[in-house]
Amino acid sequence: MSGSKCARLSGQLVRQVLDSVDCVLFDCDGVIWRGDKAIPGAPQVVKLLKQHGKRVFFVTNNSTKTRKMYADKMSTLGFDVTEDEVFGTAYCSAVYLQTVCKLQGKVYLVGSDAMKQELEAVGIQQTGLGPDHISGKQTDWARVALDPEVKAVLVGFDEHFSYMKLNRALQYITRSECLFVGTNRDSRLPLEGGTAVPGTGCLLQAVETAAQRQAATVGKPNRFMFDCVASKFGVDPGRCLMVGDRLDTDIMLGSNCGLKTLLTLTGVSTVAEAEAIQKSGCAERQGMVPDYYVESIADLLPALQG
């Protein structure tokens, strides 16, 4: 294979790359599906990779689903996937708090019911789920009732995010020895038809601005999500391919962990963006330049069927 990056993956090169890996990691949204529709050919790609003896995993920054909810959605869309092949930030954040932080105490959760479920599955109790509307006068807000057992604030996607939740997070974080963790920094959640809604990164920025402190983040490009996969399944980074639609999260994760990287153009980032970063020469950003790109992961099909 040539040493140049950002090469179009086609023809003979597809089989060469696939032969060089034992394991393929896929991002989900914009890669294997968009919204509620599978990318055409994607279920077949996953099926054939497995038939060729590859291990396949799914690594998503989205914190709104448990592993089980992902496996169910994938099944509905025609993918043959088991729960333990899926790594979302709801699950990985719970693992992070348990294994890395060794949290002894409760979590103040700005997040989803899925996050609550994944926390409870590893034995961590939470408080904070659901609506929390403003009440009382401003002078009361700093004296809002807090749970003395809370030792960490975890911020993920929360459709009930509110000023009072922001305030409660601030009051917890300014107590002594409170951990501060975010699921991910994605600024927008892309939906079908080119629309988007605010992502977890917005909520995390709000809490960080109040706290005057940076959260540790679990999601891509932080290598923790790959470490979750590697420690559970013993995969060799040098024989893994990371497939994603975002340069700043998916491709950067792959580079951070020494994986081969493949950008697919069915989502957020473009080849022009990757080439611009490559030409900029900016050392810190070179990890965002993928080894290869495809129009869609369906471009892998001929090599897998041949």
Cβ-in-10-Å burial (0-12, 13-18, 19+) of 162 comes to: middle
Q: How far is the CB of 228 from a copy of itself (least distance, A)?
A: 26
Among 1, 37, 76, 197, binds a copy of itself (CB under 8 A): 197
Span from 24-32, 41-49, 72-80, 198-206 in contact with a copy of itself (CB under 8 A): 198-206
Contact call for residue 75 and a copy of itself (CB under 8 A): no
Of 19, 22, 27, 299, the catalytic one is: 27
Q: Please select the residue that binds a copy of itself; options are 196, 216, 276, 282, rule is CB under 8 A.
A: 196
> Would you say 243 and 26 are in contact if contact means Cβ atoms under 8 Å apart?
yes
Active site residue 29: yes
Q: Give residue 197's Cα distance to chain centre.
A: 17
Alpha-carbon gap, residue 55 to 254, rounded angstroms: 16
Q: How many residues bind a copy of itself, per CB under 8 A?
A: 40
Containing H/E element for 64? none
Residues in the chain: 306
Element (H, E) at 19: helix 12-19
Q: Residue 233, interface with a copy of itself (CB under 8 A)?
A: no
Of 202 and 304, the one with the shorter C-beta distance to a copy of itself is: 202
Q: Which segment (7-15, 16-24, 135-143, 244-252) binds a copy of itself by CB under 8 A?
A: 135-143
With binding defined as CB under 8 A, does residue 176 bind a copy of itself? no
- Please choose, from the candidates 286, 266, 270, 268, the residue with its C-alpha nearest in 3D space to the C-alpha of residue 278: 286
Distance in angstroms (rounded) separating the CA atoms of residues 7 and 163:
46
| Stretch of residues binding a copy of itself (CB under 8 A), selected from 15-23, 78-86, 94-102, 163-171 | 163-171
Residue 160 engages a copy of itself in binding (rule: CB under 8 A):
yes
97: tokens are 């708090």
Nearer to a copy of itself, 69 or 301 (CB): 69
Helix axes 200-211, 163-173, angle to 10 degrees: 50
Catalytic residue flag (residue 19): no
CA–CA distance, 68 with 84 (Å, rounded to integer): 9
CA atoms within 13 A on the CB side of 52: 22
Dist CA 165 CA 144 (whole Å)? 11
Binding of residue 282 to a copy of itself (CB under 8 A):
no
Strands 188-190 and 196-198: antiparallel
Q: Is 139 in the site for a copy of itself (CB under 8 A)?
A: yes
Q: Is 161 in the site for a copy of itself (CB under 8 A)?
A: yes
Task: List the one residue from 4, 51, 133, 145 that touches a copy of itself (CB under 8 A).
Answer: 133
Least distance from a copy of itself to the Cβ atom of residue 36, Å: 8
- Which sequence positions are flagged as catalytic? 27, 29
Q: Which residues sit at the interface with a copy of itself, rule CB under 8 A? A: 35-36, 131, 133-134, 138-139, 141-143, 158-163, 166-167, 170, 174, 187-189, 191-192, 195-199, 201-203, 205-210, 212
